[in-house]
Amino acid sequence: MIKQAIIPLAGLGTRLLPLTSVIPKELLPINGKPGLEYILDECIKSGITQVILIISKKKMSIKKYFYNDNFYKNLIKKKKDKRIIMEYKKIKKYRKIIKFVYQNSPRGTGDAILKCEKLIKSNFFLMLMPDDLIIKNNCSKSLIFLHNKYKSSIIASRKVSKDNVSRWGIFDIKKINKNNFMIKDVIEKPPVKSAPSRYAVIGRYILPKKIFKILKKQKPGKNGEIHITDSIRTLILKKNRFIGHIFSGKYLDCGSMKGYINSGFEISKL
Ligand code: G1P
């Protein structure tokens, strides 16, 4: 059973500057609620019981957001505001399932994930990228369902436009049915010319515990970072089964300013 999730949050968020010079991007409100809460809610609703948040010393305000008890207690003592009591309850509910791990230098997603090695208990775990919001369908829940069916690693995917492929990890695929495919290979942000398809990696993954072994030996790739994509590639080339799932629901990219603004607009229509 997939019960643990990892969310890497140590990224600098430069695409959302100047906001992210003082506020971690995952705490920026999207229609009145921090982006991170949408991701936590997705985890909780898909049956996850522990979420490991990877932060850095520079992003301690994320931890403070969940551990600001004195602030709430004093406030509630002074005025018994129902809304504040509710919000504090909600924060405490999240706190029950989250755990913090640190990545103090931004060496890439692969390096971040490796910091969680000792905490992962079962053979597979869920990983979510907080920049990718998916609404109108719980993508993690669909991935867990497929994992239980195929007993393999699963990665979410969507078709992107040709001129956009170099922004994503891109799959080489073999179709199995309408929404699922076997992953033959995956390349981190390829140039348009050498992209094997237009099916992109979207930030929801079910990964095997054995990826930690590969990550330990992983050499830096694109832009000198340790990419989870490169270790996934090694596992695929070693004949481990990875399935791509074209998820239903609406994808929102809240890691860029344009996408962030649009995310708030789309969620306000729900
Ligand atoms: C990361 C992954 C990339 C994937 C993307 C999905 O890139 O490295 O393979 O397509 O997430 O959002 P990043 O957004 O960190 O540049």
73-104 pLDDT per residue, tens: 999 999 889 999 999 999 999 999 999 999 98
pLDDT value, residue 137: 97
How does residue 63 score in pLDDT terms, banded at 50, 70 and 90?
very high
pLDDT at 7: 98
Closest residue by Cα to atom 13, ligand 1, is 168
Band (pLDDT 50/70/90 cuts) for residue 11 is: confident
Average pLDDT, the chain: 96
| CA 185 to centroid of ligand 1, rounded, Å | 16
Please give the DSSP secondary-structure letter assigned to residue 123: S
Give the pLDDT confidence score for residue 115 in this predicted structure. Answer: 97
Q: Would the pLDDT of 66 be above 90? A: yes
Contact criterion met (CB below 8 Å) for 268 and 32:
no
Distance of CA 159 to the CA centre of its chain: 18
C-beta separation of 4 from 48 below 8 A: yes
Structure-block tokens of residue 37: 């809460």
Q: What's the confidence (pLDDT) of residue 79?
A: 85
∠ CA 213-215-218, nearest 5°, is: 120
Residue 115 · residue 127 · CB < 8 Å:
no
- Which of 260 and 80 is assigned the larger pLDDT? 260
pTM for this entry: 0.96
Cα gap 17→250, rounded to integer Å: 25
Nearest C-alpha to atom 3 of ligand 1 is from which residue? 169
**Residues 24-42, mean pLDDT to the nearest whole number:** 97
- Tokens standing for 189? 């942000």
CB 132 less than 6 A from any atom of ligand 1: yes
pLDDT at 148 over 90: yes
In this prediction, residues 106-119 reach a mean pLDDT of 96
Query: In sequence order, what E strands does the chain have?
Result: 4-8, 29-30, 33-34, 50-55, 98-102, 124-128, 132-135, 153-159, 169-175, 180-188, 199-208, 242-246, 250-253
For 30-37, what is the mean pLDDT?
Answer: 97
Q: Is pLDDT at 15 greater than 90 in this prediction? A: yes
Query: Nearest-CA neighbor of 52 among 3, 92, 88?
Result: 3
Residue the block writes with tokens 């033959």: 184
230: Cβ below 6 Å to ligand 1? no
**Distance from Cα 63 to the centre of ligand 1, integer Å:** 24
| Ligand 1 neighbour 203 (Cβ under 6 A) | yes
H-run or E-run covering 71: helix 69-78
Q: What is the pLDDT of residue 12?
A: 87
188 within ligand 1 shell (Cβ under 6 A): yes
Model confidence at 46, pLDDT cuts 50, 70, 90, reads very high
DSSP 8-state symbol, 223: G
Where does residue 55 rank: exposed (0-12), middle (13-18), buried (19+ CB within 10 A)? buried
Q: Residue 169 Cα, ligand 1 centroid: separation in angstroms?
A: 6
Residue 130 tokens read as 């907080």
> In this structure, what DSSP letter does residue 180 have?
E
Per the structure block, which two tokens stand in for 45? 């609703």
Which pLDDT tens digit goes with each residue over 184-240?
999 999 999 999 999 999 999 999 999 999 999 999 999 999 999 999 999 999 999
Burial 212-249 (b: 16+ CB within 10 A, else e): bebbeebeebeeebbbbbbbbbebbeeebebbbbebee
**Nearest residue by C-alpha to atom 11 in ligand 1:** 203
Q: Which of 7, 129, 207, 227 to mutate to test the pocket of ligand 1 (most atoms within 8 A of CB)?
A: 129
Which of 201, 236, 263 for mutating ligand 1's site (highest number of atoms within 8 Å of CB)?
Answer: 201
Taking the centre of ligand 1 as the mean of its atom positions, its distance from the CA of residue 168, in whole angstroms, is 6
Q: What is the pLDDT averaged over residues 138-143?
A: 98
Q: Is the pLDDT of residue 106 over 90?
A: no
- Return the pLDDT at 85: 95
Given a cut of 90, is residue 120 above it in pLDDT?
A: yes
Assess whether pLDDT exceeds 90 at residue 113. Answer: yes
Lowest mean per-residue pLDDT among 4-8, 49-53, 101-105, 137-141 = 101-105
The torsion angles phi and psi of 119, rounded to 5 degrees, stand at: -90, -20
Coil, strand or helix at 207: strand
Q: How far is the CA of 259 from the centre of ligand 1 (A)?
A: 15
d(CA 4, CA 2): 6
